[in-house]
Amino acid sequence: MGAYIFKRLLLILPTLFGIITLNFFIIQAAPGGPVEQMLAKLEHIQGGAQERISSSSSEVSLSVSGQYRGSKGLDERLIKEIEKLYGFDKPLHERYFLMLKNYLVFDLGESFYRQKRVVELVVERLPVSISLGVWSTILIYLISIPLGIKKAVRHGSSFDVGSSFIIVLGSAIPVFLFAIVLIIFLAGGSYLQLFPLRGLVSEGFEGLSLGGKILDYLWHITLPVASLTIGGFASLTLLTKNSFLEEINKQYVFTARAKGASERKILYGHVFRNAMLIVVSGFPAAFIGMFFAGSLLVEIVFSLDGLGLLGYESTLNRDYPVMFGTLYIFTLIGLITTLISDLVYTLIDPRIDFERRA
């Protein structure tokens, strides 16, 4: 197993390199970079021609003469200073290799617009994303796995049919719509005001006792986590049910019953390990999706400054250091989580030997 882990760790580097390289050149080729946006703003201030700027903002590529479209009337020296400010005075390949060199020492650069280093921005937003992602993932698994097992055992019963209706309803309604409904009914929208509408903690959080801080934190995080949990447990519940149904109908289950084993021992001593393999295999994608991308709309609805909102805002503003920095961190966490998932395989089913297969 040690050799397998070592090989997987070595494979992380070229995979990370390929993802970063592909995204770097795609984003650099996309229109509307930071230089073009700044030139459009300056031209708007100088000329006051709003219609011309709105059209130039969509025509941000270089012209045949090498000048930025939308830069007419601006001093050439000013354009050079703006390019130097954002690092675009260097050739494309030089910027690329400089980025790789910095990323090797985890230097993710500084934001173009926030006057902070990318690492500082990520650390500031990380508690929100951790709160949403971890608690939501834990609740989803605690609800989905027992519910899926019970649906499999009582397949075709009234409980199975009724719970399936709730699951289909939960998967059909978007997460942000659940969030809005919870705000309307529980956060002072039109009915009760039991929970706060925004933020992760109250203004006087630092002055509270330890117990008061925990209660205040849980009070603020309840509705966002509930929104993500309601919208995310459906697919995992159905996956668990189908996996258990497939295992229950296999020959070794009939053999165990013929030998007099109890249903509980068969279910949790034999079926559980085999059925949970497919559930564990989907954990990395579910975790990363919930931790970063899945919480974006919830962060917007509840005014929470998390990593999802940071990545979204940086994409709109073409804040390249933040875009590439968060992508680098997300990809690295995803690759490590996938490795952890493979290791959990061996804990659930010792028959799996990745090192022998490799």
Domain ranges of the chain: 32-93, 123-357
pLDDT reported for residue 51: 46
29-43, 204-218, 294-308: which is most confident? 204-218
For a pLDDT cut of 90, what percent of the chain falls above it? Answer: 1
Q: What share of the chain is helix, strand, coil (3-state, %, to 5)?
A: 75, 0, 25
pLDDT tens-digit readout, 53-83: 344 444 434 433 345 554 555 667 777 777 7
> In terms of pLDDT, which residue wins out, 147 or 3?
147
CATH fold of 123-357 reads MetI-like fold (1.10.3720)
* Poorest-pLDDT segment among 93-107, 127-141, 292-306: 292-306
pLDDT range class, residue 137, cuts 50, 70, 90: confident
**In sequence order, which ranges of 57-157 are alpha helices (DSSP H)?**
76-85, 92-104, 118-153
Question: Tell me: the pLDDT tens digits for 15-34?
Answer: 888 888 988 888 887 777 77
Categorize the per-residue pLDDT at 52 as very low, low, confident or very high, splitting at 50, 70 and 90: very low
Q: Which residue has the tokens 């605690």?
A: 142
Residue 64 confidence (pLDDT): 34
Give pLDDT, residue 293: 58
DSSP summary character for residue 67 = P
Confidence bin at 355 (pLDDT 50/70/90): low
**Residue 198 pLDDT:** 78
Tell me the H-state helices in 205-271.
210-248, 251-258, 263-265
% of the chain with per-residue pLDDT over 70? 82
Return the pLDDT at 323: 86
What's the mean pLDDT when you consider all of the chain? Answer: 78
CB count in 10 Å sphere of residue 164:
15
The pLDDT tens digits for 230-263 are 877 888 888 888 888 888 888 888 888 888 888 8
Give the model's confidence band at 292: pLDDT under 50 very low, under 70 low, under 90 confident, else very high: low
Please give the average per-residue pLDDT across 152-178, as a whole number.
85
φ, ψ of residue 289 to 5 degrees: the values are: -65, -40
Segment 280-301 shows an average pLDDT of 70
Model confidence at 47, pLDDT cuts 50, 70, 90, reads low
